[in-house]
Amino acid sequence: MGRRLWAAVLGIAWVVTGVWAAEDGRLGPDEDRFKQEQFDRADLDLRTVRAAGLVMFATPFNHADGYGDGPVNPLDLTSPGGRPTLGNNGTFLRVNGLDGQTCVDCHALVSTRTVPPSFGVGGFGGLNNAPIFQPTVIDVSDTAESGFAFLDGRLIVPPHLFGAGAVQLLAEEMSRELRDIGDQAISNPGQALPLVTKGVSFGVALADADGDLDESLIEGVDSDLVVRPFGRKGEFPTVRAFDEEAMRFHFGMEPVEAVGVDVDADGDGVVNEALVGEMSALEIFLTTMDRPHQEVMSADAVSGFVLFNQAGCSDCHRPALNTLNSRLDYRLSDDEAAYFSVDLSHGLTRFARDAQGGLIVPLFSDLKRHDMGPGLAENFQGADARINSEFITVKLWGVADSAPYLHDGRALTLDEAIRWHGGEAQSARDAYVGMSNGARRAIIAFLETLRLPRHPNADVID
Q: What is the pLDDT of residues 385-422, one digit of tens each?
A: 678 999 999 999 999 999 999 999 999 999 999 999 99
Residue 22 has pLDDT above 60, yes or no: no
Q: How far apart are CA 94 and CA 27, in angstroms?
A: 23
Neighbour-count burial of 28, counting CB atoms closer than 10 A to its CB (0-12 exposed, 13-18 middle, 19+ buried): buried
- Would you tell me how many other CB atoms lie within 10 Å of the CB of residue 155? 17
Cα(238)–Cα(210) distance, integer angstroms: 31
Percent of the chain predicted with pLDDT > 70: 92
pLDDT tens for 211-232 read 999 999 999 999 999 999 999 9
Give dist(CA 192, CA 460) in Å, integer: 51
Average pLDDT over residues 365-374: 97
Q: Which residues contact 315 (CB under 8 A, 6 or more apart)?
A: 428
CA distance linking residue 293 with residue 422, whole number of Å: 28
The residues facing 205 across adjacent strands are 193
- What's the angle, vertex CA 344, arms to CA 341 and CA 346, rounded to 5? 105
- What per-residue confidence (pLDDT) applies to 82? 76
Cβ atoms of residues 227 and 178 within 8 Å: yes
pLDDT mean over 182-193? 98
Whole-angstrom Cα distance, residue 79 to residue 72?
9
pTM over 0.75: yes
409's enclosing H/E stretch is none
Which residues lie closer than 8 Å to 112 by C-beta, 6 or more apart?
A: 126, 401, 402, 403, 404
In whole angstroms, what is the distance from residue 445 CA to residue 296 CA?
A: 11
Q: What is the pLDDT of residue 20?
A: 36
Helices (H), 41-132: 46-58
Q: What pLDDT does 448 receive?
A: 98
Closest residue by Cα to residue 319 from 403, 369, 393, 246: 393
- Asked if residue 359 lies in contact with residue 291, where contact means CB atoms within 8 angstroms, the answer is no
pLDDT digits (tens, 9 = 90+) for 234-246: 999 999 999 999 9
The closest alpha carbon to 199, from 423, 365, 399, belongs to 365
Contact 27, 59 (CB under 8 A): yes
What is the rounded average pLDDT for all residues in the chain? 91
pLDDT in tens, 318-346: 999 999 999 999 999 999 999 999 999 99
Residue 157 burial by CB count (10 A; 0-12/13-18/19+): exposed, middle or buried?
buried
Q: Return d(Cα 158, Cα 126) in angstroms, integer.
A: 7
